[in-house]
Amino acid sequence: MVYRASPATPFDLPSVDSWRAETDVLIVGGGGAGISAAIEAADAGARVLVLEAASEPGGSTALAGGLIYMGGGTPTQTACGFDDDLEEMHKYLVLAAGPNADPQKIRLYCDRTLEHYDWLTQQGVVFKPLYYPHKHTNTPNEAALMISGNEEAWPYNAQAKPAPRGHKPQIKGDHGGIPLMKNLLRRAKEKGVQIISDARALATIKRGAEVVGIVARIDQQEMYFRAHRGVILAAGGFIMNEQMVANYAPRLALGNYPNGNPNDTGGGIRIGIGAGGATLNMHEGFICTPFYPPHQFLEAIIVNELGQRFINEDVYHGRLGSAILDRPEGRYYLIIDSRNFDILERPPMGGYPIAGTGESIEELEAVLSLPPGNLASTLNIYNSGAATGEDASFHKAQKFLIPLNQPPYAAFDLSLGHGAIFATMTFGGLETLPTGEVLTIQGKAIPGLFAAGRNSAGLPSCAEGYSSGMSIGDATFFGRLAGLSAASRLTE
Ligand SMILES: Cc1cc2nc3c(=O)[nH]c(=O)nc-3n(C[C@H](O)[C@H](O)[C@H](O)COP(=O)(O)OP(=O)(O)OC[C@H]3O[C@@H](n4cnc5c(N)ncnc54)[C@H](O)[C@@H]3O)c2cc1C
């Protein structure tokens, strides 16, 4: 068999001799975006077929913590005693999504967040109405609700009223993606969605400018799938493709822990580019150094090689990770005093080694080879602020602002390449309308081609502002819209 297909070269319809299957809506990728699209498309009356490269569908969504960013007074927020406001959520997401964001997508996402919550629960997803009050990467118990980003941290708290908006589908611990995908997949099957696993999409099939199908590899054979209404690319991000990360997102290439599934190789994005699609925000992604848990680390100070603070230490770990990878050659230390020394008995989640200890802050400064006097001066300023409840330099919230004045001291090494985890995943993808149509570089929709989830550039678009839940929220919500658009497309 001669292999002919590659993402860069769409097939011409006349060169297809026989179809392996014909359907109305053909979806590439059976993760959060793809299966949400499939349910909506089937609900709209379309025949739906999903091609999944792995042996089982689920994707990174099934591997994920499962937090979904929703607010404006969801039933879970209300049951937990929180009074959220849609406009506050909108203000926050505009800041969190950063300067590269698509304002229309943010607006639509907020306007329909309560409807999306209802849709998820209608698919069988359960959010246990319990609030987890500490800073963590996810709720460690079955609680659904937590603060999942920078909501309570400066400068975000000065511009939008904080509320917990991370919603985890019910399960104990950090595995909310499992019940989420289990429910979505069950519902898709009930609606007659057909899923073919071990089927890797390779290229589009086009009739002129229009996308009318997909070439896929199954059992070493290239096979042709006809889509009468539309193809939706929902094949995830590209963090597992070293070459693409090096080319498009060099800052993410500095990370040492690619966060995703093995098929996060950008195949769907390349298929879309080959079909004429433009891309956006390919340089952006999530950069996470999980400096909490333990939550006591929020009471620490974090300094650079000059012994100076550079950030409020109550930020989401993505914001700290981003600040460190902005200046990767720097040295970074997290400093605690003896009040929290019990932490030394178990390793912190971020894998940070102990860089040194000191009976006094001056001794620690010498052990870390910091410029003499700097760390002591930093600590003096911090402790004076803590005594009055105000961090004039970096505006750390009062609840974490506790004087570090009980020697001895210990420092953890947060520097890149010294043992700390810097987990990364990509945000960039095909440029789409909020309703999923893939756009060319001229801003024209490619007939028959749609994208969602990390195959598209969506809500998450800036490392320093990212909040957990924005990715799965984006994938499931905009996946639905793409499913509906493809199913409703009129063709001759
Ligand atoms: C450990 C971990 C924890 C996370 N926690 C959270 C969290 O709590 N909240 C949050 O918002 N985000 C979280 N994320 C990020 C989030 O899971 C993803 O960004 C999101 O789920 C992507 O959804 P998707 O549908 O675009 O892709 P996926 O869910 O990855 O689905 C893509 C599917 O396409 C398939 N595929 C790939 N290439 C092809 C091809 N050529 N042909 C056919 N199929 C193909 C893949 O096998 C996969 O099944 C986490 C990610 C990880 C890895």
Q: Read off the pLDDT of residues 111-140 as tens digits, 9 standing for 90 and up.
A: 999 999 999 999 999 999 999 999 999 999
pLDDT of residue 492: 57
Please say if the pLDDT value at position 178 is more than 90.
yes
Give domain 290-413's CATH architecture. Alpha-Beta Complex (3.90)
Band the pLDDT of 479: cuts 50, 70, 90: very high
Q: What is the pLDDT of residue 1?
A: 52
pLDDT of residue 202: 97
* pLDDT at 406 (0 to 100): 97
Q: What is the average per-residue pLDDT within 422-441?
A: 98
33 Cα nearest atom in ligand 1: 25
Quote the ligand 1 centre to 381 CA distance (angstroms). Answer: 44
Confirm whether pTM is higher than 0.75.
Answer: yes
Give CA angle at 381 (377, 385), nearest 5°.
165
Question: What residue's CA is closest to ligand 1, atom 52?
Answer: 64
What pLDDT was estimated at residue 491?
74
**Closest atom of ligand 1 to CA, residue 454:** 26
| Cα of 486 from ligand 1 centre, angstroms | 21
Q: Is the pLDDT of residue 453 over 70?
A: yes
What residue owns the CA closest to ligand 1's atom 19? 471
List the beta strands (DSSP E) in 33-80: 48-51, 68-69
Q: Where in the chain is the domain with CATH 3.90.700.10?
A: 290-413
Name the percent of the chain lying above pLDDT 70: 99
Please choose, from the candidates 448, 453, 444, 460, the residue with its C-alpha nearest in 3D space to the C-alpha of residue 480. 453
Binned at pLDDT 50, 70 and 90, residue 230 comes out as very high
Q: Which atom of ligand 1 is nearest to the CA of 66?
A: 8
Superfamily of domain 1-285+424-492 in the CATH hierarchy:
FAD/NAD(P)-binding domain (3.50.50.60)
The mean pLDDT of the chain is 96
| Ligand 1 atom at minimal distance to the Cα of residue 200 | 42
Query: In terms of DSSP bridges, do strands 221-233 and 409-413 run parallel, antiparallel, or are they unpaired?
Result: unpaired
Average pLDDT over residues 56-83: 98
Spacing, Cα 379 to ligand 1 middle (Å): 42
Cα of 342 from ligand 1 centre, angstroms:
37
**Average pLDDT of the segment spanning 292-315:** 96
Mean pLDDT confidence for 185-208: 98
Which regions of the chain carry the CATH code 3.50.50.60? 1-285+424-492
- Classify 312 in phi/psi space as left (phi over 0), alpha (psi -120 to 50) or beta: beta
**From the CA of 185, how far away is ligand 1's center (Å)?**
14
pLDDT value, residue 343: 87
Distance 238 CA to ligand 1 centre (A): 10
CA of 382 to the centre of ligand 1 (A): 41
Mutate to test the pocket of ligand 1, among 50, 60, 69, 271 (most ligand atoms within 8 A of CB): 60
Q: What is the mean pLDDT of residues 1-17?
A: 83
* The predicted structure's pLDDT at residue 98: 93
Least confident of 286-295, 373-382, 441-450: 286-295
Q: Ligand 1: list residues with CB < 6 Å.
A: 28-34, 51-54, 57-61, 63-67, 200-201, 234-236, 259-261, 263, 267-268, 425, 453-454, 468-472, 475
Instruction: For residue 231, give the nearest of 200, 262, 210 by alpha carbon.
Output: 210
- Atom number, ligand 1, closest to the C-alpha of residue 470: 11
Residue with tokens 């924005």: 470
- Burial-class residue 374 by CB neighbours within 10 Å (0-12, 13-18, 19+): middle
Long-range contacts of 155-158 (CB under 8 A, 24+ apart): 155/95, 155/395, 156/92, 156/95, 156/96, 156/465, 157/397, 158/395
Work out the pLDDT band at 8, boundaries 50, 70, 90.
confident
Return the structure tokens found at 396.
């750390």
Stretch among 83-92, 156-165, 241-250, 338-347 having the lowest mean pLDDT: 338-347
Tens of pLDDT, residues 245-277: 999 999 999 999 999 999 999 999 999 999 999
